């Protein structure tokens, strides 16, 4: 089934992990044997050939670069200008992939419709360009709001103001603060440009402020449920209900620590904890129960988002295994129409409305 994944850090993997995503996944992982600079070396699950194998014809692909103040222990750049330069390197990789025919940037409704017709024509996807919508995860790299206009000009269409820790525009996971005036100004400019607000990673105070101040389209590209795994990175039921009321779609994220209470990084294993794709569907089911329908769930896997097979569902070897989800949904009693909504329909409906 045609599939949309609403959150993949493709350029981060290409530039920071030094993965040639045009190559077969086995080759990428084999080249990393013996490396220890990253915790997931040799455990990658994403490559462009695997996306095609899994009929993942459209993705939301990120740029990401954090600014850190002197008292911030998180990894990141020491100035917004450095962070901006890093995102521009990531942009250059996407552009190189587009020139090579590996990817195709989607910026508006006309391009979306054309790509869907192109992708769904014929059975063989092995040589097709994968569509991507550009998103910025964390707004730290925007030196000022003029840079948001520059980013919109090169195709940025979604933005999550915060990531981890204290951000220049919004505080994110494991931090807490209301939106600053700078953050409110960012949302107002996003509204003017028609950029989608990604509520993922916003701390609770910033989340509620953002919904109050932003009038445009809101989604959560990769988020699960606090009721099932209690952590501030997850959404509470009240947050999920607020997103449903705004017409949002919430993408289920595959990181095992967000699927298993008490997960210990580097020690817990998916097999030991019995974390499978079915565990992810528990979170989707929970959102459906709150909504009373299946109109607000989708896939936002975050696969290879600084973790690999060591920290994702045990029954997933590569992103192509997203194609196991329709059968699992069917076994839970989801109708064929609702299964299509999960795999692509809800994201498409959202985009068509946002871009109409």
User: Model confidence over 88-108: pLDDT tens digits?
Assistant: 999 999 999 999 999 999 999
Compute the distance between CA of residue 282 and CA of residue 70 in angstroms, rounded to an integer: 40
* Exposed e or buried b per residue across 50-73, where buried means at least 16 C-beta atoms within 10 angstroms of its C-beta: bbbbbbbbbbbbbbbbbbbeeebe
- Asked whether the beta carbons of 177 and 139 are under 8 A apart, the reply is no
Instruction: State both tokens at 77.
Output: 């750049």
Could you tell me the CATH number of the domain that includes residue 62?
3.20.20.140
The pLDDT of residue 347: 99
- Asked whether the beta carbons of 249 and 219 are under 8 A apart, the reply is yes
Average pLDDT in the chain? 98
Number of separate domains in the chain: 1
The pLDDT of residue 3: 98
Compute the distance between CA of residue 308 and CA of residue 123 in angstroms, rounded to an integer: 29
The pLDDT of residue 32: 98
CB atoms within 10 A of CB 185: 16
- Asked whether the beta carbons of 218 and 211 are under 8 A apart, the reply is yes
- The domain in which residue 182 lies consists of 3-355
Whole-model pTM above 0.75?
yes
State whether residue 131 is helix, strand or coil: strand
Tell me whether residue 15 is exposed, middle or buried, using C-beta atoms within 10 angstroms of its C-beta: 0 to 12, 13 to 18, 19 or more: middle
Give me the count of residues in the chain.
356
The rounded percent of the chain whose pLDDT value lies above 90 is 99
- Asked whether the beta carbons of 186 and 169 are under 8 A apart, the reply is yes
Residue numbers of the chain with a pLDDT score lower than 70 = none
Tell me whether residue 7 is exposed, middle or buried, using C-beta atoms within 10 angstroms of its C-beta: 0 to 12, 13 to 18, 19 or more: buried
Using alpha carbons, select from 149, 280, 158, 290 the residue that is nearest to residue 218: 158
The pLDDT of residue 92: 98
* Exposed e or buried b per residue across 269-282, where buried means at least 16 C-beta atoms within 10 angstroms of its C-beta: ebeebebbbbbbbb
Using alpha carbons, select from 234, 240, 231, 177 the residue that is nearest to residue 209: 177
43 phi and psi angles, rounded to 5 deg: -120, 20
Beta strands in 245-309 (DSSP E): 250-252, 297-299
Compute the distance between CA of residue 123 and CA of residue 128 in angstroms, rounded to an integer: 11
């Amino acid at each position: 089934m045609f599939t949309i994944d609403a959150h993949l850090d493709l350029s981060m993997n290409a530039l920071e992990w030094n993965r040639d995503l045009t190559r077969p996944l086995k080759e990428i992982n084999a080249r990393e044997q013996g490396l220890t600079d990253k915790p997931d070396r040799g455990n990658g699950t994403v490559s462009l050939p695997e996306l095609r194998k899994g009929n993942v014809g459209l993705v939301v692909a990120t740029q990401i670069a954090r600014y850190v103040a002197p008292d911030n222990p998180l990894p990141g750049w020491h100035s917004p200008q450095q962070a901006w330069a890093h995102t521009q390197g990531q942009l250059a990789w996407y552009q190189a992939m587009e020139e090579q025919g590996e990817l195709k940037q989607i910026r508006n409704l006309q391009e979306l419709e054309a790509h869907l017709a192109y992708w769904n024509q014929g059975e063989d996807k092995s040589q097709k360009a994968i569509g991507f919508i550009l998103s910025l995860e964390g707004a730290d790299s925007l030196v000022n709001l003029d840079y948001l206009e520059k980013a919109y000009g090169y195709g940025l269409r979604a933005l999550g103001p915060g990531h981890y820790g204290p951000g220049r525009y919004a505080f994110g996971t494991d931090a807490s603060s209301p939106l600053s005036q700078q953050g409110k100004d960012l949302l107002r400019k996003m509204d003017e440009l028609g950029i989608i607000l990604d509520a993922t990673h916003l701390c609770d105070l910033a989340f509620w402020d953002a919904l109050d101040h932003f009038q445009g389209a809101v989604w959560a590209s990769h988020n699960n449920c606090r009721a099932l795994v209690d952590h501030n990175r997850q959404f509470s039921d009240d947050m999920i209900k607020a997103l449903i009321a705004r017409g949002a779609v919430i993408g289920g994220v595959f990181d095992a620590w967000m699927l298993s209470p008490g997960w210990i990084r580097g020690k817990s294993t998916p097999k030991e904890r019995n974390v499978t794709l079915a565990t992810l569907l528990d979170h989707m089911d929970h959102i459906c129960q709150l909504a009373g329908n299946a109109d607000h769930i989708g896939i936002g896997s975050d696969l290879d988002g600084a973790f690999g097979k060591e920290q994702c569902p045990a029954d997933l070897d590569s992103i192509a295994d997203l194609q196991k989800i329709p059968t699992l949904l069917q076994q839970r009693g989801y109708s064929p129409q609702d299964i299509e909504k999960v795999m692509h329909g809800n994201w498409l409906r959202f985009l068509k409305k946002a871009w109409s």
